[in-house]
Amino acid sequence: MKKEKKLKGQLGLYMRWPLYLTALLVIMNAVIYAVSKDAGVMMLVFLLIYAVIAIFLYVYNKPMVYTELVSFATHYGQIQKNLLKELELPYVLLDGDGKIVWMNKEFMRLTGKKEDYSRSITTIFSELNRSILPTEEQTDVSVELSYEGQDFRAELKYISMDEDGESEVVFGEKAFEGHLIALYLFDITEINRYIRENQEQRLAAGLVYIDNYDEALENVEEVRSSLLVALIERKINKYFNAYDGIVRKLEKDRFFIIMQEKALTQIRENKFDLLQDIKTVNIGNEMAITLSISIGSGGATYADCMEYARSAMDLALARGGDQAVVKTKDQITYYGGKTQQVEKNTRVKARVKAQAFREIVEAKDKVVVMGHKLPDADAFGAAVGIYRAARTLNKRVYIVANEVSTSIRPMLEVFDEMNGGEQLVVINSAQAKEIVDRNTVVVVVDTNRPSYTECEDILAMTPSVVVFDHHRRGNEIISHAVLSYIEPNASSACEMVAEILQYFADNVRLKGGEADCIYAGMMIDTDNFMNKTGVRTFEAAAFLRRCGADVTRVRKLFRNDMGEFKARAEAVRHAEVYRGFALSVCPSKGLVSPTIVGSQAANELLNIIGVRASIVLTEYNGKIYVSARSIDEVNVQIIMEKMGGGGHLNMAGVQLECSVDEAMIQVRETLDQMFAGGELE
């Protein structure tokens, strides 16, 4: 049953105003009757005649007014419909579920659908599913989509046909109540093309450094050295010229480059193959040439891009060279870095850093030393070396260690025995926060990540922060350090500290137990001097031996209890080889320091023939600790970086917050992705 239609708004008021005027005349008639009865009666007669005529005209004209309104609305609606139908903008109406109700000619031409097509809009544009359709709360939705090689911006609008939901609209034989959805398609193909062209034509600035320029020329006859330099420069120029880049030589071993973003994209797709190509330059030089490349991209100005390039080069050099680093405003990407950095025999840098460190310590009253969480022998041994250097200057020194693992407990006992009468030395984080003030030097050893330190809070409590580390730098760094000595080619933090001690002061005298602790840290990180050792490693070891380090005492520090030995053997027994990687889980139940045992198990697995690298998972304190080790075939650092960790070429790790099974799946997936992407071979 059809509902009675009523005239509303201004039109209804206009039609009823003669009736409202009758009420006014009745009041006026009453006033006149009070003045004169005869005049009132006469007025009443005319009032009745007026009322009859007004009612008659309202009733008689109402159908004709409706007819005229319907005729006008129909004519107006037809004009609107024709305009929409002929509109050059693709336009379609949808019901509340996303089904097509009506479409104009341009939409039909674009999609190839006929007028009677009434299926869901998702069958044409998969991006437009029901979850993104506009609602009464969110009436406008904008989505970018692609269709047959064209880009569109889809604007969807919620159309309510009546506030009370009583009105209906008819399309063909169907009537729709409540609301519809209007969809407009704006072609943005041309705009997107111009945007891409603009981005591709933006300039990126970069730097190229020859890592081992002097070392390579030392091994070449003098008459052939100029030929070697010419071949290197030719390789660099030819490579970037192929991408329409410009190369300019700044110094004998440094180059400045500029290129378009389009060229940078192609170079990134080829994974900076110049890094490998440059190693083929050989005219009798025993040492392969390696490069460090940094690119700054996406800056608001050319100066910003250049600043990004300088920062990226600092990262590339701090990570050992032989790699490319691309830095944008929000992201840093690494390429290469798969070979061991060539060790430099000169110790000039160590001497300069030692003198700078002495000046910093002399200006302060206290020194607080800390390593990474769950400190190992290298971190604690390096802290002991810093302790002795500061005590030489009669400064109060404290070592932060929250948890004492079984690996450093014997070293701590030796250290306490040697220095127990002087002061409280080993403290926890809470005590450190009370001690540190602006007149304190905080020294961080064996890590350069603030989140990995024993107490990150104290880094912000003093302006004087010093970093000594042998791990490659990552994206997270201690940015406000007044002195940062990061040497990725060093075997251990203890080696670096041993060199610092030789130049720190003439009167530095290590006690026998202190020398044992530093020597022990070197032995652990070099796997008894079998891994990542160089000339400077043995020179540092010789210095410690002269200071009283005893190999027999150090060996006793490394002895394990039966539980740890069995856990390590269990990890080795259950290991499986996956793509040349030995993967295993180290049991942690009943162990005081399961992470140390896990890293020891990872080292043990490298002794198996056919194992290129090892990855061992250990569960401890609600986290999964991953230890990755290799000899020379694989750079485990780039694997751990993919998972959010870091380290250096032969020794790296990461901490994951998940289950052991999930962590193992993540390890396998990471290896699969890196093999598929060519990052591992």
Confidence of residue 73 (pLDDT cuts 50, 70, 90): low
Which long-range contacts link 14-20 to residues 24+ away (Cβ below 8 Å)? 15/58, 15/61, 15/62, 15/65, 16/58, 18/54, 18/57, 18/58, 19/54, 19/55, 19/58
379 near 526, Cβ under 8 Å?
Answer: no
Which tens digit of pLDDT belongs to each residue from 581-622? 999 999 988 787 788 888 888 988 988 888 889 999 999 888
| Rounded average pLDDT over 475-492 | 83
What CA–CA distance (Å, rounded) separates 227 from 275?
A: 20
The upper half-sphere exposure of residue 504, i.e. CA atoms within 13 Å in the direction of its Cβ, equals 25
Residues 6+ apart with CB under 8 A from 196: none
CA dihedral 366, 372, 373, 378 (to 10 degrees): -100
Q: How high is the pLDDT of residue 350?
A: 83
User: Which one-letter amino acid corresponds to residue 528?
Assistant: N
Confidence of residue 652 (pLDDT cuts 50, 70, 90): confident
What CA–CA distance (Å, rounded) separates 345 from 226?
A: 24
Which tens digit of pLDDT belongs to each residue from 547-581? 888 888 888 777 777 888 888 898 898 899 998 89
Q: Does residue 244 come out as left (phi exceeding 0), alpha (psi in the -120 to 50 range) or beta?
A: left
656 near 663, Cβ under 8 Å?
Answer: yes
The upper half-sphere exposure of residue 440, i.e. CA atoms within 13 Å in the direction of its Cβ, equals 22
Question: Reduced to 3 states, what is the DSSP secondary structure of residue 317?
Answer: helix
Residues 6+ apart with CB under 8 A from 632: 340, 650
CA 224 distance to own-chain centroid: 46
Which tens digit of pLDDT belongs to each residue from 464-479? 999 998 877 766 788 7
Q: Does residue 678 come out as left (phi exceeding 0), alpha (psi in the -120 to 50 range) or beta?
A: left
* Candidate from 273-282, 303-312, 322-331, 589-598 with smallest mean pLDDT: 589-598
**What percentage of the chain reaches a pLDDT higher than 90?**
16
- pTM for the model stands at 0.56
